[in-house]
Amino acid sequence: MSEQYELPYAIRRRTVDRFLIIELLGEIDILAASPNSDFLAGQNLDRHPDVVVDLRGVTFIDCSGLGALCQLANRLRRRGRLLRIVVTDPFTLRLLRATRLTEVFLIHDSLSAALSHSDGAAEVTAS
């Protein structure tokens, strides 16, 4: 007898103009970011010059999730590009600051800001 287990996360992908938008939802932890899952590693980056990861729907993220984001950022950096991250949750933003990942990603406080910025980002402030 097999039990049905619903994963506590989801990934949605879409394109807008030159951007690949990867929307993460739910809990981004070791289950989502395990080496055996395609999580973010399976993204085809060659067809999209700009990549935005939207974390507005994330309810929890741990070091495994941050590691997957760093791997994606490294893949982009090797292609001469930067990863844009949309963050509105104060806890997630504090975590990015504490781990100094605000120096690795371009942080935006809205999707429209990420899509309109071409050369950098105005960092958002945590409350």
Digit-coded pLDDT (tens) for 76-100: 888 888 899 999 999 999 999 999 9
How far, in whole angstroms, is CA 116 from its chain's centroid?
Answer: 17
Residue with token string 């949605």: 12
Is residue 36 assigned to a domain? yes
CATH code for the domain in which residue 52 is found = 3.30.750.24
CB 35 within 8 A of CB 71: no
Assigned domain for 3 exists: no
At residue 71, the pLDDT reads 87
**CA 123/CA 54 separation, integer angstroms:** 15
69 lies in some domain: yes
| 46-64: average pLDDT | 89
Q: Is residue 7 in a domain?
A: no
> Taking residues 41-70, what's their average pLDDT?
86
Does 6 map to a domain? no
Whether 88 is covered by a domain: the verdict is yes
Q: What is the pLDDT of residues 12-41, one digit of tens each?
A: 999 898 899 999 999 998 877 776 555 676
Residue 2 domain flag: no
Residue written as tokens 């800001």? 113
In this predicted structure, the answer to whether residue 127 has a pLDDT above a threshold of 90 is no
- pTM over 0.75? The answer is yes
pLDDT at 5 over 60: no
Number of folded domains that form the chain: 1
Structural domain containing residue 40 = 14-116
Q: Decide if pLDDT at 124 tops 50.
A: no
Q: In the chain, where does DSSP find H-type helix? A: 30-33, 63-78, 90-98, 111-116
User: When comparing pLDDT for 9 and 61, which is higher?
Assistant: 61
Q: Is 108 exposed, middle or buried (0-12, 13-18, 19+ CB in 10 A)?
A: buried
In this structure, is residue 121 part of a structural domain?
no
